[in-house]
Structure 1
C-alpha cells in the first residue's frame, strides 16, 4: 500500500448508542515541496460505505488518491492535495458489528438505518479522532 492507516474507535455513549470505528489513511511518503506550497489546498475526504459493505471497501480508491498528487484545482484555482482520507463504518457492519455485538443483541438485532449511520459518522468526526 502507498498509504498508511490507523483505526480509531470512538465511544460517544450515551450521546449515541454504539461505538463507532473508522480508519484514517495518510500518504506513506512525504509530499514534494511543490505539493507543500502555501497556496495549495489540503483536503480531507470522508468515505461512507453502502449497506452490507465495510469501511475497507474504499481502500483501492484511497490508495490511488494518496499515491500521487492529483491534478485537481479548487474554485479559486489553487491546487488541491488529498492530505488524508477517512472511512467510517456503520455500527452493525464489519468489525464494528463485532465491537457492538452486545449492544446490538440488547436491541434484538435491530438494523441500523442510514440515518443511524449518518449520526454515527457525525459523532465520530465531531470527536476529532486521531
Structure 2
C-alpha cells in the first residue's frame, strides 16, 4: 500500500505531537501484529472533536463533504491502528465508514508500546508532506 505522507496529531503541554503514520504502519508490520475485532463503541475518538480541532479549522459543509469523500473511499479491509492504551492513531475514516454502515466493530492492530512521536512542537502545516 502506497500511502501519502500523513500524521497522527495530539496536543500536549510540550506542543503538538506528531507521528508519521507510514512509520507506525511499518512498525506494526515488523512486529507481525495480528488484527482483532474492536467494538466501535470502545473507540473514544468517535465521541470527541477529531478532524476539526485546530484553530480556524471549522466544520463547514464543504469541509465535512471533503471528509465524507475520504470516508466513502476508505478501504475497511485494512485494520485501523491503536496505540498501547487503545487510542486511535490511524483509521478514523475507516472507523466512520463502519459506523455509517451500521457495523458494531472494526478490525484493528494495537501497538504493544506507543512509540515516541516523530515531531514535538511543530505546527501541523509545517510538517513534511512531500516524499
Give the TM-score normalised by the residue count of structure 2: 0.24
> Which structure carries more relative contact order (alpha carbon 8 Å, separation 6+)?
2
Higher-Rg member (1/2): 1
